[in-house]
Amino acid sequence: MGTDKVLVELEGRTFLERVVAAILPVAPSVTLIGRESAIEGLPAVPDLRGGLGPLAGIETALSICGSERALVVACDLPFVTTDFLALLLARSEARPAAAIVPLDSDGRVSPLCAIYPGSALPLVTELLDAGERTPRALLVRIEADLVPFADYSQLDGAADLLRNVNTPADLSLAERIAGGWQSS
């Protein structure tokens, strides 16, 4: 992207502000993992293993989480909504020992907008110790409930809920989507 994605703005709010606003109605607390917080009053915790990627972020989240499950949402998902997260959390209530991981509209797994059981922490640590860096490696080793797009396709903006914004071209598309043009 060429800049810190946390601070990138879409419709007058940073990506971080958008994601936190979606989480707060459904979670008792929000903690930013991996960097200092750009929102006053939002706690932040550095990665336990800085620079080792998203699996290390999940390890940190599970290590500091005060509950049996951790909702993990990447900051580069500016279209995630409270309704979508509530759906994932409801599904987690029914399967508390499973990771709840949505599939996007193309059927790709989205491990950075998911709920992970605290019981996965030892395996995450083992994978990192072995040199693994990707959350997908975790998902093939634990019980995972993969949520198909059909299960949330009725939500407003469903096709874009898991849209990552990683490049200037992605941001341009996100601006068009936010402005009322919907992707297909």
Q: Tens of pLDDT along 59-89? A: 999 999 978 999 999 999 999 999 999 999 9
Q: What is the pTM of this model?
A: 0.92
Number of domains in the chain: 1
Please indicate, yes or no, if residue 183 is contained in any of the structural domains: no
Give how far Cα 173 sits from Cα of 142, 163, 166, 167, 183, Å: 35, 10, 11, 10, 9
Region for 107 from its dihedrals, namely left if φ exceeds 0, alpha if ψ lies in -120 to 50, beta otherwise: left
Q: Does 25 map to a domain? A: yes
Average predicted confidence (pLDDT) for the chain: 92
Flag whether 184 is in a domain.
Answer: no
Is 42 among the domain residues? yes
Domain harbouring 81, CATH code: 3.90.550.10
User: Tokens for 183?
Assistant: 């992707």
Tell me which residue of 142, 67, 40, 65 sits closest to 101, measured CA to CA.
142
Question: Domain range holding 132?
Answer: 5-178
Query: Which phi and psi angles does 69 have, rounded to 5°?
Result: -140, 155
Instruction: Examine residue 31 and state whether it is found in any structural domain, yes or no.
Output: yes
The pLDDT assigned to 147 comes to 98
